[in-house]
Structure 1
Amino acid sequence: MLVVEPLPDAAARSATSPARIADVAARAGVGVATVSRVLNGRAGVRPSTRERVTEAIEALNYRPSSLARGLSLQRTMVVAALLPWFTSPSAVQRVRGIVDGLSDSGYDLMVFDLESQDRQRRAFELFDRGDRADGLLVVSTLPPAPEVERLHAAEIPCVLIDAVHSCFPSIAVDDVAGGEIATRHLLELGHRRVALIGDPPPEFRFDWSRDRTLGYERALAAAGIEVRDEYVREGTRLPQVARAIAAELLSLPERPTAVFAASDTQAIGVLEAARTLGIDVPGDLSVIGFDDIEVAAYVGLTTVRQPLVESGRRGARVLLDVLARHAVEPLRELLPLDLVVRSTTGPAPS
């Protein structure tokens, strides 16, 4: 059976389906072009007319199509976030902040996972044309030098989060200071045999791991303690890899009494290794991480907190300022770090 029903009028449509721009125009007694000018913030509309259009938008709960608005403005109305370790806890928290920062902007978010150098190259080639996204948020990595030139040539706004480059606004933390904070905490507890589990040489950038290692070395030097090569180990951010590395460290003839892990996920791997070997934490071994991901509080992990969510939120808002052609100062913004003492660190064993 074929049933044909009449098209609903504007009043009926408002109750059954989203309002259209034509409905707003009809209610305000203006043309569609006038409504469009109001929506896009353009001049040439009388205040009284603008007020009528705004009232009609509110009364009809009108939500403009991001696609249609993008076409009218010659924009995609999309922001792209490029980041490695997309499913890692710290990356998830940064993306949460980005989403919050863009929530009232009218921009949609596209996330691209840089799981390898090849995907990194492809991602920048994809987005440096400017027809996929109006701006880029590059997280925990740096654009390769050729891409920096192309992004500038194409005038594509780009903001870095957890990375620093002289050509782009950057939101970061002082990782050298963070490494010093973590190591100094262990030294103040009386530890002298302090190990470090960092990351391998950078696949993308990952200067933060190198800088945290530098902070570790500086804190030891300030205390008059030499860095022991056998106490400095490298691995990925995966906790199972950190667990295997920690098991080797904790099996040394003169094992460390404390471990600074360059990330909380690595620190959790150290805790698992200590539990497997029957080593008491913090009685026989102190462990400190970096990041303060959500699970850190549940396992009682002492850590250096960086504002992961706020870094994403701040990066998104800086990018919105750039997209709006507002002046952005300073070009490099450092967010604060805090030592969070929980139950995995304690005095060095006698």
Structure 2
Amino acid sequence: MNLADVARRAGVSPATASRALSGHPHVAEVTRARVWEAARALEYVASPEATGLARGTTGRVAVVVPHLARWWFGAALEGLGTVLREGGRDLLLYRLGDAGSRQAFFDELPTRRRADAVVLLGFGVDERERERLDRIGVGIVAAGTRVGSHPSVSIDDHAAGRQAMDHLLHLGHRRIGTIVAADPELDLAQPAGRSSAYRAALADAGITPDPALSVTVTWSPESGARAMGELLGLADPPTAVYAHSDEIALGAVRTLRRAGLRVPEDVSVVGIDDHPLAAMTDLSTVAQPAAEQGELAGRMALAGLAGEPVDPVVTVPTRLVIRGSSGPPQAAGRRWRRS
């Protein structure tokens, strides 16, 4: 079945049938209803490509993510998808995968414009990739990071890191370890603010950073567990640990408990995110609204497509959530009491 069949059954021209099915405002309601009735009777399905060709759009927004398994990406994607669906746009999802897949994606991008806008979730781009994005001639929005001068929504990573570090310092900790998260293959724009916050907080407290207290790992709970093992192996282990994410922090807590140490009496742990498991495990953290960032990115994309003004940079606030994994350090010269 094609559009001509629908038009013939409804007793209208193909042009009128097309306008009725695409929601054109200059179609009488009685005519629109007759065309839709004919389309349903014939089980007609409009070709997205043909419809887009007629109106100069695809009706889709491309969303590019480096990961799907991590909590932040799933939550942001859910918020983004809800807004796009309510705005009448389909979501076209691209997962970058490894470095080779990422390069192939950006190589092919200018030759296959399949969407009216592109939203980048949680990863930065280099100059070459930015140039490829600019060449496709559609609006670009970034969520969880910033990409050149394109509209973006994210948290202030430095401010979030300071909330975590200042909390530990206010509790009285002076020997604080940090577990830095890195994904060198995919995340070219690391959350550097979370590391700068660690150094700045120590400097403001008059503490000289000890390089041995900083461990860089990949972004996973297992890596957090291994990093905590390294910190426990030091001659003078930390009394508190600030992790770049809750997933890493939960891995660190696992190692501490398996070592027979108490949290927070022996070692305090604070993360960033407010992952759903953080409340269940009583983890102190700095909460960031992941779904809200996705929703805001979706609204930015829709506003740009409608020709409406878009804020160039939106920073959503974070907040410290104090739970049972952080507390004051034991007295100097303490001995760890095995639980």
Q: Could you tell me the TM-score, scaled by structure 2's length?
A: 0.86
User: Structure 2 vs 1, CA of residues 252 and 37 (structure 1 numbering), >3 Å: closer, same or farther?
Assistant: same
Aligned to 1:99, the other structure's residue is in SS state helix
Equivalent position of 1:110 in the other structure: 92
How do 1:196-275 and structure 2 match up within 5 A?
Answer: 196-200=178-182, 202-205=184-187, 207-275=189-257
1:36 equivalent to 2:18? Answer yes
Answer with 194-203 or 307-316: which moved more. 194-203
Residue 60 of structure 1, CA deviation: 9.2
Equivalent position of 2:337 in the other structure: none
Residue 281 of structure 1, CA deviation: 0.5
Aligned equivalent of 1:341, options 312, 322, 336: 322
1:52 equivalent to 2:30? Answer yes
Aligned equivalent of 1:120, options 102, 111, 136: 102
Residue 39 of structure 1, CA deviation: 4.9
Residue 250 of structure 1, CA deviation: 1.6
Unaligned runs of 5+ in 2: 332-339
Is contact 2:183-2:218 (8 Å) kept?
A: no
Q: Could you tell me the TM-score, scaled by structure 1's length?
A: 0.83
User: Structure 2 vs 1, CA of residues 153 and 283 (structure 1 numbering), >3 Å: closer, same or farther?
Assistant: same
Residue 190 of structure 1, CA deviation: 1.1
User: Structure 2 vs 1, CA of residues 242 and 55 (structure 1 numbering), >3 Å: closer, same or farther?
Assistant: same
Equivalent position of 2:54 in the other structure: 72
Residue 23 of structure 1, CA deviation: 6.8
Is contact 1:80-1:136 (8 Å) kept?
A: yes
Whole-angstrom CA distance in 2 between matches of 1:21 and 1:274:
70
1:183 equivalent to 2:165? Answer yes
Whole-angstrom CA distance in 1 between matches of 2:294 and 2:236:
42
Residue 142 of structure 1, CA deviation: 2.3
How do 1:139-154 and structure 2 match up within 5 A?
Answer: 139-154=121-136
How many matched pairs? 325
User: Structure 2 vs 1, CA of residues 66 and 176 (structure 1 numbering), >3 Å: closer, same or farther?
Assistant: farther
Whole-angstrom CA distance in 2 between matches of 1:317 and 1:267:
32
Whole-angstrom CA distance in 1 between matches of 2:185 and 2:177:
23
Answer with 91-100 or 32-41: which moved more. 32-41
Residue 238 of structure 1, CA deviation: 1.3
Equivalent position of 1:11 in the other structure: none
1:91 equivalent to 2:84? Answer no
Is contact 1:25-1:53 (8 Å) kept?
A: no
Residue 290 of structure 1, CA deviation: 0.8
Whole-angstrom CA distance in 1 between matches of 2:19 and 2:218:
52
User: Structure 2 vs 1, CA of residues 291 and 61 (structure 1 numbering), >3 Å: closer, same or farther?
Assistant: farther
Equivalent position of 1:291 in the other structure: 273
Is contact 1:190-1:348 (8 Å) kept?
A: yes
Answer with 69-78 or 101-110: which moved more. 69-78
Whole-angstrom CA distance in 2 between matches of 1:203 and 1:265:
19
The C-alpha deviation readout for 1:311-333, integer Å capped at 9, x for no partner, is 112112211222223221x2111
The C-alpha deviation readout for 1:226-270, integer Å capped at 9, x for no partner, is 211111110011111110110110222211111110011100110
User: Structure 2 vs 1, CA of residues 128 and 219 (structure 1 numbering), >3 Å: closer, same or farther?
Assistant: same
Is contact 1:102-1:316 (8 Å) kept?
A: yes
Equivalent position of 2:114 in the other structure: 132
Equivalent position of 1:10 in the other structure: none
The C-alpha deviation readout for 1:42-101, integer Å capped at 9, x for no partner, is 56x27xx2x435666898997974625334324333322211122111111111112112
User: Structure 2 vs 1, CA of residues 246 and 39 (structure 1 numbering), >3 Å: closer, same or farther?
Assistant: same
1:325 equivalent to 2:307? Answer yes
Is contact 1:66-1:77 (8 Å) kept?
A: no
Is contact 1:258-1:286 (8 Å) kept?
A: yes
User: Structure 2 vs 1, CA of residues 64 and 309 (structure 1 numbering), >3 Å: closer, same or farther?
Assistant: farther
Task: Name the aligned partner's letter for residue 151 of structure 2.
Answer: P
RMSD: 2.7
Is contact 1:198-1:209 (8 Å) kept?
A: no
Is contact 2:124-2:189 (8 Å) kept?
A: no
User: Structure 2 vs 1, CA of residues 84 and 150 (structure 1 numbering), >3 Å: closer, same or farther?
Assistant: closer
User: Structure 2 vs 1, CA of residues 32 and 216 (structure 1 numbering), >3 Å: closer, same or farther?
Assistant: same
Whole-angstrom CA distance in 2 between matches of 1:245 and 1:173:
25
Whole-angstrom CA distance in 2 between matches of 1:310 and 1:57:
39
